[in-house]
Amino acid sequence: MGIKRSSILTLLWVTVMASSGLPTMAAQTPSPPDIRQSGFVYCVNGLLNTFNPQMASSGLTVDTLSAQIYDRLLDVDPYTYRLIPELAQSWEVLDNGATYRFHLRKNVPFQRTAWFTPTRNLNADDVVFSFARMFDIHHPYHDVNGGDYPYFDSLQFPDSVQSVRKLDNDTVEFRLNSPDASFLWHIATHYAPVLSEEYAEQLTAAGRQEQIDRQPVGTGPFMLNEYRAGQFIRLLRHDAYWRGRPRMSQVVIDLGAGGIGRLSKLLTGECDVLAYPAASQLPVLRDDPRLRLTLRPGMNIAYLAFNTAKPPLDDVRVRQAIALSINNQRLMQSIYYGTAETAASILPRASWAYDNEAKVSEYNPDKARALLHAIGKDNMELRLWVPTASQSYNPSPLKTAELIQADLAQVGIKVIIVPVEGRFQEARLMTMNHDLTLAGWSTDSNDPDSFFRPLLSCAAIRSQTNYAHWCQPLFDQLLHSALLSQQLAGRMETYRDAQRMLEEQLPVLPLASSLRLQAYRYDIKGLVLSPFGNASFAGVYRDDSQEPKP
């Protein structure tokens, strides 16, 4: 097994890299050590359009790479769901939540890469640069590589953040136009990495500003070494990492196989970790003594979005009829195999604002047919856009679409499935011509605002995360009022009102909230599966002292 792995990794090291929009990195050493001695292979299905999570809306960059390359001001404890220090060792909430002051950790070095050699450690200038770039439309880096920051744009942060300023080398202050009780949670997401201002200045002097999102530099435990589009990403250990030297010297993220192919690689040992295995693969994973399986509740939701800006789905009665037609229980059995629960709200049950009185949509095809007949919509043809890659919230999107297609056929609705490669927003495919979109959302924040505003606010239409194209000013007003108080009780009541409005108007149909699954080889230790996204690989190591018999 070791020989096979070594030959595969040697091939990766000597392969001539292809660009595909992102630059490719050449190996910096003449020959790689055996991956079994120096690192591990992480297999995941996904496409990459940027290495900067600020500019991504979800997916590989946010779920996997961000925690390896970058750090944030704050983190979320994967076990207690509480905010904990990261680059900010402490913080203060002032002006009833309208001002936030962060005191930075000292002696945090940036990565030393083939394209950048830092001359100083992290300081307040780096934090100001990282956030001013997103929030200040006049910032010299704001429009570099497109100027789209989907997550924070959907939250209208450029309008709500009054200033980000340096008080001294170790202190940064954010002033908001009004109190925002969710602010710290948004700052703790993987969408809020801290970049190097010194690196940005160097790129500006060289006239290569676009490189900042393509050849990343962060303070995280691993740094980019090689990339080949659609095949692999190699990360090397950041030896000066502020938390301590990571235990493995390299991680290879294998992008080259999907579905059964990735499972086969795990079984043969070509992969050490399989991210997001299909629920149908669980019996195989559980029965093999060489494998281990981790399951955790996830902060995620899978849903069907209706294009409410386009007939006939601008009619809430049509949306209600479709909801009545979908056999959600069959989806649970055929897609999730007991690893998810039927969703009654756009919020997962783990959220503190979840409405316990919310009801799962009724399955009643006879009632659906009668409703469609009453409004003269007996025969419709709809286009359903579906991502092809498995996700943490939906391991089999195409199969899900086929089940929905069969359900709607029973009530006289013909559904044409349109498979879409990659992420809708990142591929710029979310135009107004779809009817239905099978989508989902996962976040590394326990605040309900991280679901409501990115998915359903008016601003989220412009940031291409509101697939329903639903804009309801009263709903936006509810979300805004929920941010004005630091008291959870008042926020919970406001969010219950928001959930009831969604239940009545049905811009999206919640389908499932799934467990996060991760399978890995018996000798991989220290792997943490977080409900909020993948955690750092810094503590992962290999121990094959007790090899099980196959």
Distance CA 440, CA 459 (A): 18
Burial state string for 365-401 with b = 16 or more CB within 10 A and e = fewer than 16? beebbebbeeeebeebebebbbbebbbbbbbbbebbb
Selected residue with higher pLDDT from 21 and 288: 288
The tens digit of pLDDT for each residue in 439-479 reads: 998 887 778 998 999 999 998 998 788 999 999 999 999 99
Mean pLDDT of 525-541: 86
Residue 25 is predicted with a pLDDT of 55
Residue 79 is predicted with a pLDDT of 78
Q: What is the pTM of this model?
A: 0.81
When pLDDT is cut at 50, 70 and 90, the band that residue 27 belongs to is: very low
The tens digit of pLDDT for each residue in 386-405 reads: 988 778 788 889 999 999 99
**Over 50: is that where the pLDDT of 422 sits?**
yes
**Spacing of C-alpha 484 from chain mean position:** 27
For 359, the 3-state DSSP assignment is coil
When pLDDT is cut at 50, 70 and 90, the band that residue 486 belongs to is: confident
The strand ranges marked E within 68-160 are 74-76, 83-85, 88-94, 99-104
Identify the helix (H) or strand (E) that includes residue 533: strand 533-534
The tens digit of pLDDT for each residue in 212-263 reads: 999 999 999 999 999 998 899 999 999 999 999 999 999 999 998 665 688 8
Question: Which domains are delineated in the chain?
Answer: 1-69+220-290+522-550 (3.40.190.10), 71-212 (3.90.76.10), 300-515 (3.10.105.10)
Residue 106 is predicted with a pLDDT of 97
Distance CA 263, CA 271 (A): 8
Residue 26 is predicted with a pLDDT of 46
**Over 50: is that where the pLDDT of 18 sits?**
no
Neighbours of 405 (CB within 10 A): 17
**Over 70: is that where the pLDDT of 482 sits?**
yes
